[in-house]
């Protein structure tokens, strides 16, 4: 609420703020740590997660047939999904 109050009534896109708030609550439950809204780690995590969601919007056959990831090119965004999932895993482990 403090962050919204700082906007002073100006129209603003609060989607990132909402995602940050929800993700922060989930992290505090699962990982046991809350982050500052401007924490570079949290921002990088959310950006990586958003890329995964965007890349996987359509059902990806690579999930069912993992060997498809070896086909040249970015078949159904498989390489993007794989890269971004490793980014998220590395950030938490």
Q: Is the dihedral of CA 71, 74, 78, 81 positive or negative?
A: positive
Calculate Rg over the CA atoms of the chain. Answer: 17
pLDDT value of residue 68: 72
**Tokens (6 digits) for 65:** 């047939």
Helices and strands per DSSP (H, E), number in the chain: 5, 0
User: d(Cα 82, Cα 77) in Å, to the nearest integer?
Assistant: 9
Closest CA to 82 of 55, 45, 61, 58: 55
- Confidence label for 63 from pLDDT (cuts 50, 70 and 90): low
Whether 76 has a pLDDT exceeding 70, the answer reads no
pLDDT value of residue 91: 65
- Confidence label for 58 from pLDDT (cuts 50, 70 and 90): low
Neighbours of 74 (CB within 10 A): 14
Output b/e per residue, 4-24; b: 16+ Cβ within 10 A: eeeeeeeeeeeeeeeebeeeb
Q: How many domains does the chain have?
A: 1
Residue 7 lies in domain:
2-92
């Amino acid at each position: 609420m403090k962050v919204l109050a700082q906007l002073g009534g100006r129209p603003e896109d609060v989607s990132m703020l909402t995602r940050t708030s929800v993700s922060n609550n989930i992290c505090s439950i699962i990982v046991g740590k809350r982050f500052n809204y401007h924490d570079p780690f949290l921002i990088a995590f959310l950006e990586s997660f958003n890329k995964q969601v965007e890349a996987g919007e359509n059902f990806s056959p690579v999930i069912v047939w993992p060997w498809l990831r070896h086909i040249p090119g970015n078949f159904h965004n498989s390489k993007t999904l794989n890269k971004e999932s490793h980014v998220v895993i590395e950030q938490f482990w």
